Amino acid sequence: MLRWRTATAAVAITAALALSSCAADTGSTEGGGGTLTLGAIVAPTTFDPAGSEWGNRAPFYQAVYDTLLLATSEGEIEPFLAESFEYNEDNTVLTLTLRDDVTFTDGSELTSDVVKQNLERFQTGTSPDAGYLSGITSIEAPDATTVVITLAAPDPAMLNYLTRDPGLIASAEALADPDSLATDPVGSGPYVLDTAATVTGTSYTYTKNPDYWNPDLQHYDTLTINVLADATAAVNAIKAGEVNGIKLASNDNLTEVESAGWTVNANELDFQGLLLLDRAGTMGEPLSDVRVRQAINHAFDREALLTALQSDNGTVTGQVFPESSPAFDPALDERYPYDPEKAKDLLAEAGYADGFSLAMPSSTVLGSTTYTLLAQQLADIGITAEYTDPGNNFIADLLAPKFPASFMALEQNPDWQLIQFMIAPNAVFNPFKYADPQVDEYLAQIQAGDEATQAEVAKQLNEYIVEQAWFAPFYRVQNSIATDANTSVEMMPTNVYPAVYDFQPKG
């Protein structure tokens, strides 16, 4: 599946990778033991936190690094390396108080200066998520356990960012040798990468950190993460008992997986649909008319698409905010029922009774069926889909921007993070930098408001962009993590891959 993780797209690797022929060891003892073997669909491109990503790559980093704050499976943000955190009155100064009992695997200690170095490196680094920290104007370390982060303006997503890749903390001594850090991480996390037993891009082996400050999170002596991008390879690994838990690249084989005695743990994080990006009509003039965008929303039989493309593993939706958000309104899912005749009427009112052509990129990763069905339903209302396959430049060309619209799968983040991802004028997935005065007003209220104000205005914003048809969402896709009979896991409401600490032996 083609997906973005909050600042960059992760195109699924197409080559199937072989696992070890040995069955996964699920032995455990009180306080941890045995081996946990996981399957992931992408490998890390670097172990340097300044170039790190999250989403499907999160477990590789969580194994060796701790984050400043912790996102829990209950959807809460809790202290972690920072044992407490507090904002000033106007939410522009965040003060973190660090634990004083944390050491890195090279023996060096966690201090505020180490955290300052890591945050500054991430802010100017190569991570696709570096922009998360762009609103920080200064980072100070007034004493050994205090970090003071000053923001140019309130950022309601900052705490969440510090639970993800921007919050990963490496040893200061390791930061001095970034070439080595890229392949040999030095963190304070629950495990240590065994570089001798690791095959880069294929299989990563970690051993238990004997000096870890939080042993309650160490449920195994050894952790192995194998890269299995291909759905068939994943099912074969399940049947052979070569993994204990695995991210399924698609939902095509769920019955087969469950028949093997495995549990499918599911949540919904991504929506799939059309991004109607050129709302000013600079490249695709028809999209500047809200009636055209509304007509496109009426063109799609969402229920049929969910059945045909996802075997009903998901939930039909008409909004980009997730069900967990205070902005979510169930009524908005009914705003654009499948109605080709209504769509034609709207096009005629907008001056496009004879239809028009709409240029969009395509990707072989998503397969031909998706694009065929979308083209058919658009054709039924008079719109001709003109596809171009940019190959590996799919995301780069989309964000250049070279296309007025595109089919895409995007993560439904917490509210302000989602806004900065696809709605705000400078959002990554607002490549035409489209601005709407009403939206700008909503964003200002959310950014400066208290929690109640943020929730109420987010709901108003959601209703507005649905009415203005900024997007044409089809459905939220089921994200599936399969676990064997000896392993349990708690799913993350804010990430596609569970935390490594939330995999535990049963019994």
Assess contact for 96 and 82: CB atoms under 8 A: yes
Helix, strand, coil percentages (3-state) for the chain, rounded to 5, are: 35, 25, 45
pLDDT reported for residue 252: 87
Model confidence, pTM = 0.86
Distance CA(54)–CA(67), nearest Å, equals: 12
Assess contact for 452 and 215: CB atoms under 8 A: no
Assess contact for 502 and 490: CB atoms under 8 A: yes
Distances in Å between the alpha carbon of 127 and those of 52, 176, 361?
5, 18, 25
Domain 3-262+484-505, CATH homologous superfamily name and number = Periplasmic binding protein-like II (3.40.190.10)
Assess contact for 234 and 19: CB atoms under 8 A: no
478 CA to centre of own chain: 14
Q: Are strands 93-98 and 82-87 parallel, antiparallel or unpaired?
A: antiparallel
- DSSP for 405-453, please give it: EEEEEEE---HHHHHHHHTSTT-TT-TT----HHHHHHHHHHHHS-HHH
Distance CA(263)–CA(483), nearest Å, equals: 5
| Neighbour-count burial of 263, counting CB atoms closer than 10 A to its CB (0-12 exposed, 13-18 middle, 19+ buried) | middle
Q: How many CB atoms lie within 10 A of CB 353?
A: 11
Q: Which residues contact 33 (CB under 8 A, 6 or more apart)?
A: 27, 220, 221, 505
pLDDT reported for residue 302: 98
pLDDT reported for residue 17: 28
Q: What is the largest CA-CA distance in the chain?
A: 71
Which residue is listed with tokens 């991802």?
421
Taking the CA atoms of residue 469, residue 472, residue 474 and residue 477 in that order, the dihedral angle to the nearest 10 degrees is -100
Distance CA(341)–CA(283), nearest Å, equals: 26
**Structural domain spans, the chain:** 3-262+484-505, 270-478
Count of alpha carbons within 13 angstroms of residue 164, beta-carbon side: 29
Distance CA(446)–CA(424), nearest Å, equals: 12
- In the beta sheet, which residues pair with residue 409? 272
Tokens of 349: 């009112």
Q: Three-state DSSP class for 78?
A: strand
Among candidate residues 130, 132, 149, the one with its CA nearest the CA of residue 140: 149
Q: Which residues contact 134 (CB under 8 A, 6 or more apart)?
A: 123
Report the chain's C-alpha Rg in angstroms. 23
Which residue is listed with tokens 């009524």?
331
pLDDT reported for residue 336: 98
Distance CA(435)–CA(437), nearest Å, equals: 7
Q: What is the 3-state secondary structure (H, E, C) of 228-277?
A: CCCHHHHHHHHHCCCCCEEECCCCCCHHHHHHCCCEEEEEEEEEEEEEEC
pLDDT reported for residue 32: 55
Domain 270-478, CATH homologous superfamily name and number = Dipeptide-binding Protein; Domain 3 (3.10.105.10)
Which residue is listed with tokens 């019955």?
255
Number of H-type helices and E-type strands within the chain: 15, 23
Taking the CA atoms of residue 131, residue 137, residue 142 and residue 148 in that order, the dihedral angle to the nearest 10 degrees is -60
Q: Are strands 35-40 and 146-151 parallel, antiparallel or unpaired?
A: unpaired
Which residue is listed with tokens 């007025």?
404
DSSP code of residue 320: S
93 backbone dihedrals φ, ψ, rounded to 5°: -130, 120
pLDDT reported for residue 67: 98
Assess contact for 216 and 57: CB atoms under 8 A: no
Please list the pLDDT of the chain residue by residue as tens digits (507 residues): 222 333 333 333 223 323 333 345 544 334 457 999 999 999 999 999 999 999 999 999 999 999 999 999 999 999 999 999 999 999 999 999 999 999 999 999 999 999 999 999 999 999 989 999 999 999 999 999 999 999 999 999 999 999 999 999 999 999 999 999 999 999 999 999 999 999 999 999 999 999 999 999 999 999 999 999 888 899 999 999 999 999 998 888 999 999 999 999 999 999 999 999 999 999 989 999 999 999 999 999 999 999 999 999 999 999 999 999 999 999 999 999 999 999 999 999 999 999 999 999 998 877 789 999 999 999 999 999 999 999 989 988 999 999 999 999 898 989 999 999 999 999 989 999 999 999 999 999 999 999 999 999 999 999 999 999 999 999 999 999 999 999 999 999 999 999 999 999 997
Among candidate residues 99, 91, 138, the one with its CA nearest the CA of residue 116: 138
pLDDT reported for residue 24: 56
